[in-house]
Amino acid sequence: MSPTNLLIRQAQILLPNGEFLQGDVQLQEGRIAQVAATIAPAEGERVIDAEGLTLLPGVIDPQVHFREPGLEHKEDLFTASCACAKGGVTSFLEMPNTRPLTTTQAALDDKLHRASQKCLVNYGFFIGATRENLPDLRTAQPTPGIKIFMGSMHGPLLIDQEADLAPIFATGDRLIAVHAENQGRIEQRRQQFAGITDPAIHSQIQDNQAALEATQLALKLSRKYRRRLHILHLSTAEEADLLRQEKPTWVTAEVTPQHLLLNTSAYATIGTLAQMNPPLRSPHDNEVLWQALLDGVIDFIATDHAPHTLEEKAQPYPNSPSGMPGVETSLPLLLTQAKQGRCTVAQVANWMSTAVARAYGIPNKGLITPGYDADLVLVDLVTKRPVLRSQLLTKCGWSPFEGWQLTGWPVVTIVGGQVVYERGQLNLDVRGKPLSFVQTP
Ligand code: DOR
Protein backbone atom coordinates (compact mmCIF):
# COMPACT_ATOMS: atom_id res chain seq x y z
CA MET A 1 0.00 0.00 0.00
CA SER A 2 1.53 3.33 -0.98
CA PRO A 3 1.16 6.27 1.38
CA THR A 4 -1.76 8.58 0.75
CA ASN A 5 -1.30 12.32 0.96
CA LEU A 6 -3.03 13.65 4.02
CA LEU A 7 -3.83 16.99 5.56
CA ILE A 8 -4.43 17.02 9.29
CA ARG A 9 -6.36 20.18 10.06
CA GLN A 10 -6.49 22.30 13.17
CA ALA A 11 -4.81 19.96 15.63
CA GLN A 12 -2.88 21.07 18.68
CA ILE A 13 0.50 20.17 17.19
CA LEU A 14 3.44 19.45 19.48
CA LEU A 15 6.41 21.28 17.94
CA PRO A 16 10.07 20.23 18.40
CA ASN A 17 10.60 23.10 20.87
CA GLY A 18 7.92 21.64 23.18
CA GLU A 19 5.34 24.30 22.38
CA PHE A 20 1.95 23.72 20.78
CA LEU A 21 0.66 25.23 17.57
CA GLN A 22 -3.00 25.10 16.62
CA GLY A 23 -2.61 24.30 12.95
CA ASP A 24 -2.28 21.95 10.01
CA VAL A 25 0.19 19.24 9.08
CA GLN A 26 0.56 18.02 5.52
CA LEU A 27 1.84 14.49 4.87
CA GLN A 28 3.23 13.54 1.47
CA GLU A 29 4.94 10.33 0.36
CA GLY A 30 5.11 9.07 3.93
CA ARG A 31 6.88 12.15 5.26
CA ILE A 32 5.85 15.34 7.00
CA ALA A 33 5.81 17.95 4.22
CA GLN A 34 4.63 21.09 6.02
CA VAL A 35 3.59 22.33 9.45
CA ALA A 36 1.79 25.68 9.53
CA ALA A 37 -1.15 27.56 11.04
CA THR A 38 -3.16 26.91 7.88
CA ILE A 39 -2.36 24.89 4.79
CA ALA A 40 -4.61 24.77 1.73
CA PRO A 41 -5.45 21.17 0.77
CA ALA A 42 -3.75 19.94 -2.38
CA GLU A 43 -5.67 18.18 -5.11
CA GLY A 44 -6.81 14.69 -4.11
CA GLU A 45 -5.53 15.03 -0.56
CA ARG A 46 -7.51 13.41 2.23
CA VAL A 47 -8.37 15.88 5.01
CA ILE A 48 -8.60 14.77 8.64
CA ASP A 49 -10.48 17.21 10.84
CA ALA A 50 -8.48 17.23 14.08
CA GLU A 51 -10.17 20.10 15.86
CA GLY A 52 -10.01 19.44 19.60
CA LEU A 53 -7.33 16.73 19.20
CA THR A 54 -3.61 16.83 19.98
CA LEU A 55 -1.01 15.65 17.49
CA LEU A 56 2.05 13.90 18.92
CA PRO A 57 4.94 11.98 17.35
CA GLY A 58 4.06 8.27 17.24
CA VAL A 59 5.21 6.30 20.26
CA ILE A 60 8.42 4.29 19.85
CA ASP A 61 8.24 1.47 22.39
CA PRO A 62 11.82 0.32 22.96
CA GLN A 63 11.16 -2.87 24.90
CA VAL A 64 8.49 -5.40 23.94
CA HIS A 65 8.17 -9.19 23.83
CA PHE A 66 5.93 -10.14 20.90
CA ARG A 67 6.40 -13.93 21.16
CA GLU A 68 6.81 -14.79 17.47
CA PRO A 69 8.24 -17.18 16.48
CA GLY A 70 7.49 -20.04 18.81
CA LEU A 71 5.17 -18.68 21.49
CA GLU A 72 2.29 -17.49 19.30
CA HIS A 73 -0.34 -18.79 21.70
CA LYS A 74 0.50 -15.70 23.84
CA GLU A 75 0.87 -13.09 21.06
CA ASP A 76 2.16 -12.78 17.52
CA LEU A 77 3.54 -9.99 15.39
CA PHE A 78 0.13 -9.33 13.80
CA THR A 79 -1.92 -9.17 17.00
CA ALA A 80 0.81 -7.22 18.80
CA SER A 81 1.08 -4.70 15.98
CA CYS A 82 -2.71 -4.24 15.98
CA ALA A 83 -2.46 -3.48 19.70
CA CYS A 84 0.37 -1.05 18.92
CA ALA A 85 -1.68 0.77 16.28
CA LYS A 86 -4.58 1.16 18.72
CA GLY A 87 -2.19 2.40 21.42
CA GLY A 88 -0.48 5.02 19.25
CA VAL A 89 2.72 2.95 19.07
CA THR A 90 4.12 3.40 15.57
CA SER A 91 7.47 1.62 16.10
CA PHE A 92 8.73 -1.05 18.48
CA LEU A 93 11.99 -2.74 19.47
CA GLU A 94 11.45 -6.40 20.25
CA MET A 95 13.38 -8.75 22.52
CA PRO A 96 15.17 -12.01 21.62
CA ASN A 97 13.52 -14.51 24.03
CA THR A 98 11.39 -16.10 21.31
CA ARG A 99 11.73 -19.72 20.04
CA PRO A 100 14.20 -20.05 18.46
CA LEU A 101 16.08 -17.38 20.39
CA THR A 102 17.14 -14.39 18.28
CA THR A 103 20.86 -15.02 18.65
CA THR A 104 21.98 -15.34 15.01
CA GLN A 105 21.68 -13.31 11.81
CA ALA A 106 19.41 -16.05 10.41
CA ALA A 107 17.00 -15.77 13.36
CA LEU A 108 17.05 -11.98 13.05
CA ASP A 109 16.36 -12.21 9.30
CA ASP A 110 13.47 -14.58 9.98
CA LYS A 111 11.86 -12.08 12.39
CA LEU A 112 12.37 -9.22 9.93
CA HIS A 113 10.74 -11.27 7.18
CA ARG A 114 7.78 -12.22 9.36
CA ALA A 115 7.33 -8.60 10.41
CA SER A 116 7.43 -7.39 6.79
CA GLN A 117 4.53 -9.74 6.05
CA LYS A 118 2.27 -8.95 8.98
CA CYS A 119 3.31 -5.94 11.06
CA LEU A 120 1.08 -2.87 10.88
CA VAL A 121 3.76 -0.67 12.49
CA ASN A 122 7.54 -0.23 12.19
CA TYR A 123 9.84 -2.78 13.80
CA GLY A 124 13.33 -3.51 15.07
CA PHE A 125 14.70 -6.60 16.80
CA PHE A 126 17.43 -6.98 19.40
CA ILE A 127 20.02 -9.72 19.10
CA GLY A 128 20.38 -11.78 22.28
CA ALA A 129 23.78 -12.48 23.81
CA THR A 130 24.79 -16.04 24.70
CA ARG A 131 28.18 -17.22 25.88
CA GLU A 132 28.94 -18.43 22.36
CA ASN A 133 27.76 -15.86 19.81
CA LEU A 134 30.26 -12.98 20.02
CA PRO A 135 30.78 -12.90 16.22
CA ASP A 136 27.00 -12.59 15.64
CA LEU A 137 26.76 -9.84 18.26
CA ARG A 138 29.37 -7.88 16.36
CA THR A 139 27.97 -8.17 12.88
CA ALA A 140 24.18 -8.67 13.07
CA GLN A 141 22.21 -6.05 11.11
CA PRO A 142 19.91 -4.26 11.43
CA THR A 143 19.49 -4.28 15.19
CA PRO A 144 19.11 -1.64 17.89
CA GLY A 145 21.63 -3.53 19.99
CA ILE A 146 22.59 -6.52 22.08
CA LYS A 147 20.25 -7.74 24.81
CA ILE A 148 21.84 -9.32 27.86
CA PHE A 149 19.75 -11.04 30.52
CA MET A 150 21.97 -10.81 33.61
CA GLY A 151 19.16 -12.46 35.58
CA SER A 152 15.52 -13.61 35.47
CA MET A 153 16.23 -15.95 32.61
CA HIS A 154 17.24 -19.53 32.04
CA GLY A 155 19.02 -21.31 29.21
CA PRO A 156 21.53 -19.76 26.80
CA LEU A 157 20.27 -16.17 27.19
CA LEU A 158 21.25 -16.04 30.87
CA ILE A 159 24.70 -14.48 31.34
CA ASP A 160 25.19 -13.91 35.04
CA GLN A 161 28.93 -14.21 35.55
CA GLU A 162 31.25 -11.24 35.23
CA ALA A 163 33.80 -13.43 33.40
CA ASP A 164 31.20 -14.11 30.68
CA LEU A 165 29.90 -10.54 30.55
CA ALA A 166 33.31 -8.89 30.21
CA PRO A 167 34.16 -10.19 26.70
CA ILE A 168 30.80 -8.95 25.41
CA PHE A 169 31.41 -5.47 26.83
CA ALA A 170 34.97 -5.57 25.48
CA THR A 171 34.06 -6.59 21.92
CA GLY A 172 32.56 -4.18 19.40
CA ASP A 173 30.90 -0.87 20.13
CA ARG A 174 27.18 -1.24 19.57
CA LEU A 175 24.64 -0.61 22.29
CA ILE A 176 24.24 -3.20 25.05
CA ALA A 177 20.85 -3.28 26.80
CA VAL A 178 20.76 -5.14 30.11
CA HIS A 179 18.05 -6.77 32.16
CA ALA A 180 19.82 -6.11 35.45
CA GLU A 181 18.96 -8.54 38.23
CA ASN A 182 21.53 -10.63 40.11
CA GLN A 183 20.65 -14.24 39.35
CA GLY A 184 22.81 -15.64 42.18
CA ARG A 185 20.96 -13.62 44.79
CA ILE A 186 17.58 -14.50 43.25
CA GLU A 187 18.35 -18.23 43.38
CA GLN A 188 19.50 -18.06 46.96
CA ARG A 189 16.35 -16.18 48.01
CA ARG A 190 14.14 -18.53 46.01
CA GLN A 191 15.35 -21.33 48.28
CA GLN A 192 14.93 -19.18 51.38
CA PHE A 193 11.27 -18.44 50.52
CA ALA A 194 10.44 -21.81 48.91
CA GLY A 195 6.90 -23.05 49.43
CA ILE A 196 5.27 -19.61 49.65
CA THR A 197 2.54 -19.28 47.01
CA ASP A 198 1.44 -15.71 47.76
CA PRO A 199 2.67 -13.85 44.64
CA ALA A 200 3.64 -10.87 46.81
CA ILE A 201 6.73 -12.87 47.80
CA HIS A 202 7.99 -12.33 44.24
CA SER A 203 9.04 -8.76 45.09
CA GLN A 204 10.95 -10.02 48.13
CA ILE A 205 12.69 -12.84 46.31
CA GLN A 206 13.80 -10.62 43.42
CA ASP A 207 14.39 -7.71 45.75
CA ASN A 208 15.80 -4.21 45.30
CA GLN A 209 19.25 -5.41 46.24
CA ALA A 210 19.25 -8.01 43.43
CA ALA A 211 18.49 -5.26 40.90
CA LEU A 212 21.01 -2.84 42.38
CA GLU A 213 23.87 -5.35 42.36
CA ALA A 214 23.38 -6.19 38.68
CA THR A 215 23.08 -2.53 37.69
CA GLN A 216 26.30 -1.81 39.60
CA LEU A 217 28.07 -4.59 37.71
CA ALA A 218 26.76 -3.41 34.32
CA LEU A 219 27.91 0.14 35.10
CA LYS A 220 31.32 -1.10 36.17
CA LEU A 221 31.82 -3.00 32.90
CA SER A 222 30.43 -0.14 30.82
CA ARG A 223 32.92 2.21 32.45
CA LYS A 224 35.84 -0.16 32.14
CA TYR A 225 35.31 -0.68 28.41
CA ARG A 226 33.64 2.69 27.74
CA ARG A 227 30.79 0.71 26.24
CA ARG A 228 27.41 2.21 25.30
CA LEU A 229 25.01 0.81 27.90
CA HIS A 230 21.25 0.99 28.25
CA ILE A 231 19.62 -0.16 31.48
CA LEU A 232 16.22 -1.66 30.76
CA HIS A 233 13.21 -1.24 33.08
CA LEU A 234 14.90 0.45 36.01
CA SER A 235 12.72 -0.43 39.00
CA THR A 236 14.28 0.67 42.30
CA ALA A 237 15.00 3.87 44.20
CA GLU A 238 18.50 2.56 44.87
CA GLU A 239 19.33 2.24 41.16
CA ALA A 240 17.87 5.68 40.43
CA ASP A 241 19.97 7.17 43.24
CA LEU A 242 23.07 5.42 41.92
CA LEU A 243 22.52 6.82 38.42
CA ARG A 244 21.86 10.25 39.86
CA GLN A 245 25.30 10.16 41.46
CA GLU A 246 27.26 8.64 38.60
CA LYS A 247 25.83 8.28 35.14
CA PRO A 248 28.41 8.30 32.36
CA THR A 249 27.33 10.22 29.26
CA TRP A 250 27.21 6.97 27.27
CA VAL A 251 24.66 5.35 29.61
CA THR A 252 20.86 5.62 29.30
CA ALA A 253 18.04 4.10 31.35
CA GLU A 254 14.32 3.48 30.94
CA VAL A 255 11.36 2.88 33.23
CA THR A 256 8.01 1.16 32.58
CA PRO A 257 4.57 2.62 33.29
CA GLN A 258 4.07 -0.33 35.67
CA HIS A 259 7.05 0.62 37.82
CA LEU A 260 5.83 4.23 37.92
CA LEU A 261 2.15 3.58 38.56
CA LEU A 262 1.80 0.16 40.24
CA ASN A 263 3.45 -1.16 43.38
CA THR A 264 3.36 -4.21 45.65
CA SER A 265 -0.20 -3.37 46.74
CA ALA A 266 -1.31 -4.67 43.31
CA TYR A 267 -0.74 -8.30 44.35
CA ALA A 268 -3.74 -8.03 46.72
CA THR A 269 -6.05 -6.92 43.92
CA ILE A 270 -4.81 -8.62 40.75
CA GLY A 271 -2.61 -11.43 42.13
CA THR A 272 -0.21 -12.99 39.64
CA LEU A 273 -1.25 -10.50 36.93
CA ALA A 274 1.00 -8.11 38.88
CA GLN A 275 3.97 -10.47 38.59
CA MET A 276 6.76 -9.24 36.35
CA ASN A 277 10.55 -9.06 36.21
CA PRO A 278 11.97 -6.96 37.66
CA PRO A 279 9.09 -7.03 40.14
CA LEU A 280 6.82 -4.23 41.24
CA ARG A 281 8.30 -2.29 44.16
CA SER A 282 7.07 0.02 46.95
CA PRO A 283 5.26 3.38 46.73
CA HIS A 284 8.57 4.96 47.75
CA ASP A 285 10.24 3.41 44.69
CA ASN A 286 7.40 4.80 42.51
CA GLU A 287 8.10 8.30 43.83
CA VAL A 288 11.87 8.14 43.37
CA LEU A 289 11.52 6.74 39.84
CA TRP A 290 9.12 9.56 38.91
CA GLN A 291 11.54 12.16 40.20
CA ALA A 292 14.42 10.54 38.33
CA LEU A 293 12.38 10.60 35.12
CA LEU A 294 11.42 14.24 35.63
CA ASP A 295 15.05 15.15 36.32
CA GLY A 296 16.43 13.33 33.27
CA VAL A 297 18.25 10.66 35.29
CA ILE A 298 15.95 8.18 33.55
CA ASP A 299 15.82 8.93 29.84
CA PHE A 300 12.66 7.34 28.50
CA ILE A 301 9.76 4.92 28.86
CA ALA A 302 9.27 1.35 27.61
CA THR A 303 6.36 -0.97 28.31
CA ASP A 304 8.17 -4.33 28.50
CA HIS A 305 4.93 -5.65 26.91
CA ALA A 306 5.24 -9.31 27.95
CA PRO A 307 1.94 -11.13 27.41
CA HIS A 308 1.03 -14.48 28.98
CA THR A 309 -2.37 -16.15 28.73
CA LEU A 310 -4.82 -15.92 31.63
CA GLU A 311 -4.58 -19.69 31.94
CA GLU A 312 -0.79 -19.46 32.37
CA LYS A 313 -1.17 -16.61 34.83
CA ALA A 314 -3.73 -18.63 36.83
CA GLN A 315 -1.10 -21.16 37.90
CA PRO A 316 -0.09 -20.74 41.52
CA TYR A 317 3.10 -18.79 42.24
CA PRO A 318 5.93 -19.56 41.44
CA ASN A 319 4.65 -21.51 38.43
CA SER A 320 2.86 -18.41 37.12
CA PRO A 321 4.96 -16.65 34.47
CA SER A 322 6.23 -13.08 34.91
CA GLY A 323 5.17 -10.31 32.58
CA MET A 324 2.28 -8.07 31.60
CA PRO A 325 1.07 -6.47 28.37
CA GLY A 326 1.36 -2.71 27.85
CA VAL A 327 1.39 -1.27 24.32
CA GLU A 328 -2.32 -0.44 24.28
CA THR A 329 -2.35 1.49 27.52
CA SER A 330 1.06 3.18 27.88
CA LEU A 331 0.28 6.45 26.09
CA PRO A 332 -3.09 7.13 27.78
CA LEU A 333 -1.61 6.12 31.15
CA LEU A 334 1.14 8.71 30.83
CA LEU A 335 -1.08 11.38 29.28
CA THR A 336 -3.51 10.92 32.17
CA GLN A 337 -0.60 11.64 34.51
CA ALA A 338 0.14 14.77 32.46
CA LYS A 339 -3.49 15.88 32.72
CA GLN A 340 -3.27 15.37 36.47
CA GLY A 341 -0.28 17.70 36.59
CA ARG A 342 2.48 15.22 37.32
CA CYS A 343 4.34 16.09 34.11
CA THR A 344 3.64 17.84 30.83
CA VAL A 345 2.31 16.42 27.57
CA ALA A 346 5.57 17.53 25.91
CA GLN A 347 7.56 15.51 28.46
CA VAL A 348 5.44 12.43 27.75
CA ALA A 349 6.11 12.77 24.01
CA ASN A 350 9.81 13.18 24.70
CA TRP A 351 9.96 10.10 26.95
CA MET A 352 7.87 7.96 24.61
CA SER A 353 9.23 9.03 21.24
CA THR A 354 11.82 11.80 20.81
CA ALA A 355 14.32 10.58 23.42
CA VAL A 356 13.96 6.97 22.28
CA ALA A 357 14.73 7.86 18.64
CA ARG A 358 17.75 9.85 19.80
CA ALA A 359 19.13 7.15 22.11
CA TYR A 360 18.82 4.37 19.52
CA GLY A 361 19.88 6.55 16.60
CA ILE A 362 16.65 6.00 14.66
CA PRO A 363 16.80 8.59 11.88
CA ASN A 364 13.90 10.92 11.04
CA LYS A 365 11.59 9.84 13.83
CA GLY A 366 10.31 11.29 17.08
CA LEU A 367 9.54 14.87 16.04
CA ILE A 368 6.82 16.64 14.10
CA THR A 369 8.88 18.63 11.64
CA PRO A 370 9.18 18.75 7.83
CA GLY A 371 11.25 15.91 6.39
CA TYR A 372 10.59 13.55 9.27
CA ASP A 373 8.65 10.32 8.82
CA ALA A 374 4.89 10.66 9.09
CA ASP A 375 4.53 8.43 12.18
CA LEU A 376 1.97 10.29 14.24
CA VAL A 377 -0.80 9.91 16.77
CA LEU A 378 -3.81 12.15 17.32
CA VAL A 379 -5.04 11.88 20.90
CA ASP A 380 -8.12 13.09 22.71
CA LEU A 381 -7.04 14.79 25.93
CA VAL A 382 -10.61 15.51 27.05
CA THR A 383 -12.66 12.31 27.01
CA LYS A 384 -12.16 9.78 29.81
CA ARG A 385 -12.66 6.08 29.17
CA PRO A 386 -11.87 3.04 31.28
CA VAL A 387 -9.46 0.27 30.27
CA LEU A 388 -11.80 -2.58 29.37
CA ARG A 389 -10.76 -6.19 28.84
CA SER A 390 -13.38 -6.54 26.09
CA GLN A 391 -11.68 -3.82 24.01
CA LEU A 392 -8.10 -5.09 24.17
CA LEU A 393 -6.44 -6.33 20.99
CA THR A 394 -3.45 -8.06 22.58
CA LYS A 395 -3.91 -11.81 22.18
CA CYS A 396 -3.50 -12.38 25.91
CA GLY A 397 -6.69 -10.38 26.45
CA TRP A 398 -6.04 -8.70 29.80
CA SER A 399 -4.35 -5.65 31.30
CA PRO A 400 -3.07 -4.89 34.80
CA PHE A 401 -4.81 -1.52 34.40
CA GLU A 402 -8.37 -2.77 33.79
CA GLY A 403 -10.93 -0.36 35.21
CA TRP A 404 -8.52 2.61 35.27
CA GLN A 405 -10.20 5.74 33.90
CA LEU A 406 -7.83 7.25 31.36
CA THR A 407 -7.71 10.19 29.03
CA GLY A 408 -5.39 10.71 26.03
CA TRP A 409 -6.65 7.69 24.09
CA PRO A 410 -5.48 7.59 20.47
CA VAL A 411 -8.13 8.61 17.95
CA VAL A 412 -6.02 8.29 14.80
CA THR A 413 -2.64 6.56 14.41
CA ILE A 414 -0.56 7.14 11.26
CA VAL A 415 2.39 4.98 10.18
CA GLY A 416 4.52 6.14 7.26
CA GLY A 417 1.78 8.51 6.14
CA GLN A 418 -0.96 5.85 6.22
CA VAL A 419 -3.87 5.82 8.64
CA VAL A 420 -3.49 2.49 10.44
CA TYR A 421 -6.06 3.13 13.20
CA GLU A 422 -9.00 5.52 13.23
CA ARG A 423 -11.76 5.77 15.82
CA GLY A 424 -11.84 2.09 16.70
CA GLN A 425 -11.09 0.73 13.21
CA LEU A 426 -7.81 -0.79 12.05
CA ASN A 427 -6.61 -0.58 8.46
CA LEU A 428 -5.22 -4.10 8.05
CA ASP A 429 -3.61 -3.27 4.69
CA VAL A 430 -0.96 -1.03 6.26
CA ARG A 431 2.53 -2.44 6.76
CA GLY A 432 5.33 -0.93 8.81
CA LYS A 433 8.97 -0.80 7.77
CA PRO A 434 12.18 -2.09 9.34
CA LEU A 435 13.82 0.57 11.48
CA SER A 436 17.41 1.57 10.90
CA PHE A 437 19.87 2.47 13.63
CA VAL A 438 22.71 4.92 13.27
CA GLN A 439 24.66 4.74 16.47
CA THR A 440 27.63 6.84 17.33
CA PRO A 441 29.82 4.93 19.79
O1 DOR B 1 8.37 -9.95 33.36
C2 DOR B 1 9.05 -10.19 32.39
N3 DOR B 1 8.62 -10.99 31.41
N4 DOR B 1 10.26 -9.65 32.29
C5 DOR B 1 11.13 -10.00 31.32
O6 DOR B 1 12.20 -9.46 31.27
C7 DOR B 1 10.78 -11.06 30.36
C8 DOR B 1 9.33 -11.07 30.19
C9 DOR B 1 8.81 -12.21 29.34
O10 DOR B 1 9.36 -12.43 28.26
O11 DOR B 1 7.81 -12.81 29.71
Q: Is this model's pTM higher than 0.95 or not? A: yes
pLDDT tens-place values along the chain, 441 residues long: 555 799 999 999 999 999 999 999 999 999 999 999 999 999 989 999 999 999 999 999 999 999 999 999 999 999 999 999 999 999 999 999 999 999 999 999 999 999 999 999 999 999 999 999 999 999 999 999 999 999 999 999 999 999 999 999 999 999 999 999 999 999 999 999 999 999 999 999 999 999 999 999 999 999 999 999 999 999 999 999 999 999 999 999 999 999 999 999 999 999 999 999 999 999 999 999 999 999 999 999 999 999 999 999 999 999 999 999 999 999 999 999 999 999 999 999 999 999 999 999 999 999 999 999 999 999 999 999 999 999 999 999 999 999 999 999 999 999 999 999 999 999 999 999 999 999 765
Look at ligand 1, atom 5, and give the residue with the nearest C-alpha.
Answer: 277
CA–centroid distance, 278 to ligand 1, in Å, is 8
Q: Is the CB of 233 under 6 A from ligand 1?
A: no
CA–centroid distance, 255 to ligand 1, in Å, is 14
Q: Which residues are identified as catalytic?
A: 304
CA–centroid distance, 192 to ligand 1, in Å, is 23
- SS3 of the chain: the string is CCCCCEEEEEEEEECCCCCEEEEEEEEECCEEEEEECCCCCCCCCEEEECCCCEEEECEEEEEECCCCCCCCCCCCHHHHHHHHHHHCEEEEEECCCCCCCCCCHHHHHHHHHHHHHHCCCEEEECEECCCCCHHHHHHCCCCCCEEEECCCCCHHHECCCHHHHHHHHHCCCCCEEEECCCHHHHHHHHHHCCCCCCCCHHHHHCCHHHHHHHHHHHHHHHHHCCCCEEECCCCCHHHHHHHHHCCCCCEEEEECHHHHHCCCCHHHHHHHHHCCCCCCCCHHHHHHHHHHHHCCCCCEECCCECCCCHHHHCCCCCCCCCCECCCCCHHHHHHHHHHCCCCCHHHHHHHHHHHHHHHHCCCCCCCCCCCCECCEEEEECCCCEECCHHHCCCCCCCCCCCCCEECCEEEEEEECCEEEEECCEECCCCCCCECCCCCCC
Closest atom of ligand 1 to CA, residue 324: 1
Q: Is the CB of 276 under 6 A from ligand 1?
A: yes
Q: Is the CB of 179 under 6 A from ligand 1?
A: yes
Q: Is the distance from CB of 20 to CB of 349 less than 8 angstroms?
A: no
Residues, the chain, total?
441
Q: Is the CB of 81 under 6 A from ligand 1?
A: no
Q: Is the CB of 322 under 6 A from ligand 1?
A: yes
Question: How many C-beta atoms surround the C-beta of residue 104 within 10 A?
Answer: 17
CA–centroid distance, 141 to ligand 1, in Å, is 24
